[in-house]
């Protein structure tokens, strides 16, 4: 059974996670945190060493949510091609899936932390690396099961897919135009069907 302190810490993280994601580490003030949680500065920092630790936990909370949705979609598929398409389809509606978080945690926190917060940037980099490795593993399994062509470089396609998706998210947000995501996910589906699929 969770202690009162653990329950409070979880409440704080869940409540402030969208704020950090929208406003960034520097842009999120102590008054933002106290106002959102209804707690005092002492109550917040009685559970976390400092703002940096809290912002890292907020990022981890947001990314666990997103990765959970991705895993659920991909695990529902039996084939490598099906898993790649499920991942792509998740990103097709990504802005709707993450609107309550304040947008894409990887994109928001990665841009915000660059040059400002090495700890957060390192965490974002780690998450991106793990995501790319997971996509590459799906492709590798597909090659082994003769669903995907031999000669395909798994990590190269993993990086291509992920960077194209994140770039499309960026453009969709900046231009306020979902067409960027739709067109890029259509392009990735075409790539899967015409370059990867046996």
How does pLDDT run across 60-100, given as a tens digit for each residue?
Answer: 999 999 999 999 999 999 999 999 999 999 999 898 889 88
Report which of residues 99 and 53 the model is more confident about. Answer: 53
pTM: 0.93
| 3-state helix/strand/coil string of the chain | CCCHHHHHHHHHHHHHHHHHHHHHHHHCCHHHHHHHHCCCHHHHHCCCCCHHHHHHHHHHHHHHHHHHHHHHHHHCCCCHHHHHHHHHHHHHCHHHHHHHHCCCHHHHHHHHHCCCCHHHHHHHHHHHHHHHHHHHHHHHHHHHCCCECCCCCHHHHHHHHHHHHHHHHHHHHHHCCCHHHHHHHHHHHHHHHHHHEC
Binned at pLDDT 50, 70 and 90, residue 2 comes out as: confident
- Confidence (pLDDT) at 156: 98
Domain count, the chain: 1
How does pLDDT run across 119-177, given as a tens digit for each residue?
Answer: 999 999 999 999 999 999 999 999 999 999 999 999 999 999 999 999 999 999 999 99
Task: State the residue range of the domain holding 174.
Answer: 4-196
CATH code at position 85:
1.10.357.10
- Confidence (pLDDT) at 1: 79
């Amino acid at each position: 059974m969770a202690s009162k302190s653990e329950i409070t810490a979880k409440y704080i993280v869940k409540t402030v996670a969208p704020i950090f994601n929208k406003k960034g580490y520097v842009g999120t003030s102590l008054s933002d945190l106290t106002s959102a949680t209804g707690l005092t500065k002492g109550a917040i920092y009685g559970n976390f060493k400092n703002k940096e630790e809290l912002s890292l936990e907020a990022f981890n909370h947001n990314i666990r949510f997103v990765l959970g949705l991705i895993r659920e979609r991909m695990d529902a598929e039996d084939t490598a091609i099906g898993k790649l398409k499920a991942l792509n389809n998740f990103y097709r509606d990504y802005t709707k899936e993450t609107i309550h978080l304040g947008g894409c945690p990887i994109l928001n926190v990665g841009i915000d932390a660059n040059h400002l917060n090495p700890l957060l940037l390192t965490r974002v980099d780690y998450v991106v690396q793990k995501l790319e490795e997971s996509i590459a593993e799906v492709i590798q399994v597909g090659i082994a099961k003769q669903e995907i062509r031999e000669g395909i470089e798994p990590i190269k396609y993993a990086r291509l897919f992920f960077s194209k998706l994140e770039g499309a998210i960026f453009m969709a947000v900046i231009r306020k135009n979902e067409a960027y995501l739709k067109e890029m996910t259509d392009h990735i589906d075409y790539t899967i069907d015409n370059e990867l699929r046996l």
